[in-house]
Amino acid sequence: MLIKYVFQNFRSFKGKSELSMKAGRQRTLDENLIRENGLRILPSAVIYGANASGKSNIIMSLALMREIVLLGSVGTSHPYLNNFELYPFVHSIEQSPMLFEIEFINQGVHFLYSFEVMTKSFEKGNRRIVSEMLWINHNNKMMQIFERDLQRITINKDKRILSLIQYNENLLKEFENKINKNLDPTQLFLTHAFKTIVSNEIADKIIDFFKNKLLVISDFSLKKMSFTYTEEIPDKDFLAWNETIDVFVKSADFGPQRILFKSQKSDDQHSGDIQLVSIYKVGKHNVIIPAELMESRGTLKLLDFAIPFEGLFMEGGVFVLDEFDAAIHPELVKGIIALFNDQSINKKGAQLIFTTHNPIYLSNKIFRRDQIIFVEKDKDTFESTIYSLADFGSADVRNDQNYLINYFKGKYSSLPYIDFSKLFTKKAKEDV
């Protein structure tokens, strides 16, 4: 469960910026909130902003943090890391580190984890971790487990921490000295030495959050799925029915066709490709056609999310998407938002965060004020900022006001306006 995410010096965001899922004092739609460890947490949030305002950069930075944690290094070759030197805020002469900080609850434990990475814009091969910290909520008090700077790691030797990680103080000092002699500036301490020597249990809870509970999609593209057979290998290809997908198809009224998975074994007989197919009844016969040839992109996108949604509501987790509602009817999106906001269904504390341009969700019947987030870029400094509708205060934004109309009036953020007539007028071109 995400509590807050803080980042700095990433693309259009120069200063510290925070995406908070902590509920404010507002009591409207209070029944929608997730309650855990004495906290009131938002189950969903929608992010608005003009094109190039920085909405996607929030999602991209969180995706980057996730990949760094799972890789355990900033020096590894990876699609996200190949362009690492292009990520710092480019409109600045000052060199400052990129900050990634996340506060979350996983498996009942409340963590705060952060690290900073220094690199030079447009200059590859000079990445280094200049800080790293881990905090844990122990007996309702946040306690630091370790901190790191560029030169060394320092592990907290408070008796409560030693009891938590089950370590002898002298042995811990000995380990600390050894690790600092061989400190790799490109590797995370958490996923390497801390996990293998200090506390595998704590590290695994944190890594599990990033690997299994935090799903970030910054660039949606349909992919052909593959899998390895774990039971008896079928003698021939087969069709696999999925109840969740079937319910999605019927509930969304996509049509009379059935949508299933069709397998095809590979040459090694131990693995195979699995493809989404549509089955249409023509007379007395069933015709099987690849779904991407028959179904709309919106249908395919929704079905691609169906199984992850099932996992979210069964196990809990955070689903973060850039332009989630693109190619999907807003009424379907409203239905999905309602699932996250309904705590009789969302019993595991799943969360949904997405960006959009569609103002239809600007309704006090769907979202609280603190669930509606705006991103705006300054025209002079080119810096993006994040704020929520709740930041305007109750006097400026009353619950009985029409958020959508006020949005179009420019009360919450500046709306984009570009005069494209200059493209076609000779005089206007000369003036430019």
Confidence at residue 272, expressed as pLDDT on a 0 to 100 scale? 57
| pLDDT tens-digit readout, 174-226 | 999 999 998 999 999 999 999 999 999 999 999 999 999 999 987 655 444 44
CATH number at 2-220+322-408: 3.40.50
Cα gap 15→52, rounded to integer Å: 17
Average pLDDT, the chain: 86
Q: What are phi and psi of 87, to 5 degrees?
A: -80, -35
**Strand positions, DSSP E, 229-365:** 239-240, 258-265, 271-282, 285-290, 318-321, 351-355
Boundaries of every domain in the chain: 2-220+322-408, 225-301
**Which residue ranges in the chain fall short of pLDDT 70?**
125, 219-238, 240-241, 253, 264-273, 393-400, 414-423, 425-432
Phi-psi group of 97: left, alpha or beta (phi > 0 → left; psi -120 to 50 → alpha; rest → beta): beta
- Least Cα distance to 148 among 156, 158, 160 occurs for 156
Q: What is the pLDDT of residue 278?
A: 86
Cα(127)–Cα(381) distance, rounded to whole angstroms? 26
Query: Could you tell me the CA-to-CA distances from 380 to 3, 349, 376 in Å, in that order?
Result: 32, 41, 12
**pLDDT tens by residue, 92-128:** 777 899 999 999 999 999 999 999 999 977 777 689 9
Segment (H or E) for 69:
helix 55-71
User: What confidence score (pLDDT) does residue 227 get?
Assistant: 44
Question: How many degrees, rounded to 5, is the angle at CA 147 between CA 317 and CA 216?
Answer: 25
Concatenated DSSP letters of 349-374 = --EEEEE-S-GGG--TTT--GGGEEE
Residue 267 pLDDT: 58
Give CB contacts under 8 A, 24+ apart, made by 24-32: 24/368, 24/369, 24/370, 24/390, 26/368, 26/369, 26/370, 26/390, 26/394, 28/364, 28/368, 28/369, 28/399, 29/341, 29/364, 29/367, 29/368, 31/343, 32/341, 32/342, 32/343, 32/368
Query: Which residue in 113, 145, 106, 143 sits closest to 129, CA to CA?
Result: 113
Per-residue pLDDT, 15: 94
Query: What is the structure's pLDDT at 254?
Result: 74
